[in-house]
Amino acid sequence: MSANNQSSAPSVIASVVVATYRRPEFVRECLTRLQAQSLRPQRIIVVDASPETDTRDVVRGFANVDYRRNERGAGTLSTSRAIGIKDLTDDVVAFIDDDAYAEPQWLEELLKPYADPSVGAVGGRALNGREGEAAEGIGEIGLLLPDGRLTGNFAADPGRDLDVDHMLGANMSVRLNAIRALGGIRELYPGTCLREDADIALRIGKSGLRVVYAPKAVVHHVAGDYAKGKRFDSRYHYYGARNHVVLLATTLGWRDIHLRRYVLTVGRQTLREVRGGVRALRDRERAGIGAKLRGLAGGLRRAAILVVGTIAGGVAAVAARPTIVRRG
């Protein structure tokens, strides 16, 4: 379904929260872009989980930017977001990553859909500098699929606002009263912090409010280094599997068909990885037993990460249930 674009400047009041860890120079550029917005935020809040003071020193060079600490350190993005909104009284809070650089109209475009009171959350585009990315996955932006997987494609430009199921954390916003009515930001997604953004969106959607993708609200996502490891390494995939189960179980429920289908999908993918490893062992084009064994080990390792991550997610979701009930 399309969402109507609004032609006038939004009347809602919004602040911006930037969560960061050991990226002071990225924060400097991010703040420079935020202070050049066509519609200035009410407040800009930087929440820093770094052990050093470099980011604090950067923030001191900017007027009207609040600096806050997250003493829990790396891998606690949800905590940083929660710290950022704790005393805000604005209509909307926008979240942007420290390595996401906003175009001048970003905040203004992000807020326009909120003129419709049925809109509870809005996300925008994140450009990655890839050729042709504006058309990649243009028909499958931000969807929860029947098998429980999520589509991304948040660099795509459909030419109009769209209703979606979830948003990208690097460029998203939410009505404060809506998320607080649902118990606030939940700190259930550690490690690489995958799915903490989808958690907000799915809960907003389940409450009956709309989640909108506004492609004119653009940031350039330059992909800073990870605090630990590398992007898409084994640690990344483990937390992807773990946090996805937590997401489905705690937002949709244990009996929801998406969760059951997702577990079956994981089972099929695990078998494919094992079979791929066995095929590598038998591959005559691989020179030497060392190459064959590495292929086998790679397949088995990927299968093990999927299984262990999925089981860990189930355990974490069970452990989270009393906390969720109390907060709700």
Domain boundaries, the chain: 14-221, 234-327
Distances (CA, A) of 65 to 31, 53, 96, 116, 135: 9, 16, 14, 29, 36
Greater confidence (229 vs 124) lies with 124
User: What CATH class has 14-221?
Assistant: alpha beta
- Phi then psi for residue 288, to 5 deg, are 90, 155
pLDDT of 230 = 60
- pLDDT higher than 60, residue 6: no
Confidence (pLDDT) at 137: 96
Nearest to 17 by CA among 60, 59, 74, 73: 59
Q: Is 250 helix (H, G, I), strand (E, B) or coil?
A: helix
Q: What is the pLDDT of residues 156-173, one digit of tens each?
A: 999 999 999 999 999 999
Per residue in 273-296, pLDDT (tens digit) is 999 988 887 877 776 888 878 888
For the chain, give percent helix, strand, coil, nearest 5. Answer: 40, 15, 40
* Best CA proximity match to 128, nearest among 195, 45, 223: 223
Instruction: Quote the CA–CA distance of 195 and 108 in Å, as a whole number.
Output: 26
pLDDT greater than 80 at residue 16: yes
**Which parts of 151-285 are beta strand (E)?**
162-163, 171-175, 210-221
